[in-house]
A and B are shown apart, each in its own frame.
Chain A
Amino acid sequence: MMENSPSPLPERAIYGFVLYLASQFGFFLYCLWAFVPEEWLHLIGLTYWPQKYWALAVPIYLLVALTISLVILFGVNMNNTAPLDSVDNITDMYAQAQGTNSCHKGGIPRLKDVSISEVNKMFYLSPQAIKSRN
């Protein structure tokens, strides 16, 4: 059973090259449609294409949407951050539902959240903290 890895493989190189050729060809077709006058297209028989207005409008729309979405991403993140007076900065329902210690003798104690009061005592009140601060 082959493991998935992101390393370069011959198949991936071929896929990449095909995609590159297809995208360059697609861009060439788009430029063709944008620059060739309408009458020539009508002469060949291609009549039902979108208005030339869209040749400019769609790229501009995409770029503006990209820029705005960047700003909105920042805004949404800041909006979802818990304010300083929220209990979510201290604990949550999983930490509160932990059981009290039930360690066997000599065994490794269970992994669980340490309450903020204990953490503070360890950081700021213990003699070791005083030594490391001076």
Chain B
Amino acid sequence: MGDEAFTDINGKAISMDCHSHSGFCREFTVSSPKVSVGKVMVYTCCVWLLAYTVFFFTQNTAVLSSAILITLVGMMFHIHFVKVDHESLLVIGSLGIQVSSCYASGRETTTFIEMSKIKDIVINEAIYMHQIIYYLCVLLKDPAEPKAVSSVVPLFQSSKPRLNCLVKVYKSCQEILSKC
């Protein structure tokens, strides 16, 4: 399943890759666009111009050095904690699912949910800020109470793909979930 111009809810292009490892094991990876050098340069120039203007009026060199420090620390914080490179969903029939997100600095966070806790994987619509979006989520159940939904884990939160991408993932997941 190659990419056919998927976009996220804001219209930015993303790419989705579906890899079928075996008959009951599939992995879906949604990648966001990388940090663009142009944007970084524009932000840096704006912050430094502002700092220079403040320095011009106050003649305090601490303003310039603190601006440089803030820019550097801010960029490091952004690529390590905020900017997500790709998110992946690995579904293994009768074992569980694994959700992982990889940040731009290489850091990876992973969560595994075992099959006995999973009720279903569905596409739900909800209000998000000023709009209503479709999002894929895992419904978890308490093994003691199999009919009630105990909690919800939304998937692909940073890339937020649109419905065409979600339907592909949903159909693929349902094939595996219905077999086990």
Are the C-beta atoms of A124 and B149 separated by less than 8 Å?
no
Given A90-B139, A90-B149: A124 and B170 within 8 A (CB)? yes
In Å, the complex CA distance between A116 and B148 comes to 12
Are the C-beta atoms of B139 and A116 separated by less than 8 Å?
yes
Say what secondary structure dominates the interface of chain B: strand
Say what secondary structure dominates the interface of chain A: helix
Residues of chain A contacted by B149 (CB below 8 angstroms) = 87, 90-91
- Min C-beta distance of A128 to chain B, whole Å: 14
Report if B78 contacts A (CB, 8 A): no
Which interface residue of B120, B153, B157 has the most chain A CB atoms within 10 A?
Answer: B120
Report if A7 contacts B (CB, 8 A): no
- Min C-beta distance of A96 to chain B, whole Å: 6
Q: Which of A84, A85, A116, A123 contacts B151 (CB 8 A)?
A: A85
Instruction: Digitize B129-146: 1 where CB-to-A-CB distance is under 8 Å, 0 elsewhere.
Output: 100000101010000000
- Min C-beta distance of B98 to chain A, whole Å: 18
Report if A117 contacts B (CB, 8 A): yes
In Å, the complex CA distance between A86 and B149 comes to 11
Residues of chain A contacted by B57 (CB below 8 angstroms) = none
In Å, the complex CA distance between A116 and B125 comes to 10
Report if A60 contacts B (CB, 8 A): no
Instruction: Please give me the residue from chain B that is nearest to A116 by CB atom.
Output: B122
Given A116-B139, A120-B123, A124-B170: A85 and B153 within 8 A (CB)? yes
Residues of chain A contacted by B137 (CB below 8 angstroms) = 84-85
In Å, the complex CA distance between A124 and B125 comes to 14
Are the C-beta atoms of B152 and A86 separated by less than 8 Å?
yes
For window 33-47 of chain B, which residues contact chain A by CB distance below 8 Å? none
Residues of chain A contacted by B171 (CB below 8 angstroms) = 124-125
Given A78-B129, A125-B171, A125-B174: A120 and B152 within 8 A (CB)? no
In Å, the complex CA distance between A89 and B126 comes to 6
Instruction: Please give me the residue from chain A that is nearest to B164 by CB atom.
Output: A133
Report if A102 contacts B (CB, 8 A): no
Report if A81 contacts B (CB, 8 A): yes
Report if B60 contacts A (CB, 8 A): no
Report if A82 contacts B (CB, 8 A): yes
